[in-house]
Amino acid sequence: MSSQQAQPVEAQEPETPHLDFQGTTPYEDYVQADVLTHLQHTLSDDPGEMVFLVTTQVMELWFTVIVHEWETAANALREDRVPVAVAALKRSVRELEALNASWRPLAQLTPAQFNSYRSALGEGSGFQSAMYRRMEFLLGEKSASMLVPHRGAPRVHAELEKALHEPSLYDEVLRLLARRGHAVPKSVLVRDVSRRYESSPEVEAVWTALYAGDEHDELARLGEALTDVAELVWRWRNDHLVATRRAMGAKTGTGGSAGVAWLEKRAQKNVFPELWTARSHV
Chain segment 196-251, per-residue pLDDT in tens: 999 999 999 999 999 999 888 999 999 999 999 999 999 999 999 988 888 888 77
Mean pLDDT within 113-118: 90
pLDDT range class, residue 256, cuts 50, 70, 90: low
Sign of CA dihedral 100, 69, 74, 228: negative
Predicted pLDDT at 7: 53
Residue 240, marked binder: yes
Give me the CATH code for the 48-110+128-281 domain, please. 1.20.58.480
Predicted pLDDT at 122: 84
Question: Which of 86, 124, 52, 103 has the alpha carbon at shortest distance from 226?
Answer: 86
Domain boundaries, the chain: 48-110+128-281
Residue 254, marked binder: yes
The whole-angstrom separation of Cα 213 and Cα 275 is: 15
Residue 157, marked binder: no
Question: C-alpha distances in angstroms, 258 versus 53, 142, 185, 270?
Answer: 22, 19, 37, 20
pLDDT range class, residue 152, cuts 50, 70, 90: very high
Chain-centre distance for alpha carbon 46: 29
The whole-angstrom separation of Cα 74 and Cα 203 is: 18
Predicted pLDDT at 254: 62
pLDDT range class, residue 181, cuts 50, 70, 90: very high
pLDDT range class, residue 262, cuts 50, 70, 90: confident
3-state SS of 108-157 is: CCCHHHHHHHHHHHCCCCHHHCHHHHHHHHHCCCCCHHHHHHHCCCHHHH
- For residue 255, pLDDT over 80 is answered with no
Q: What H or E segment, with its residue span, contains residue 100?
A: helix 82-101
pLDDT range class, residue 12, cuts 50, 70, 90: low
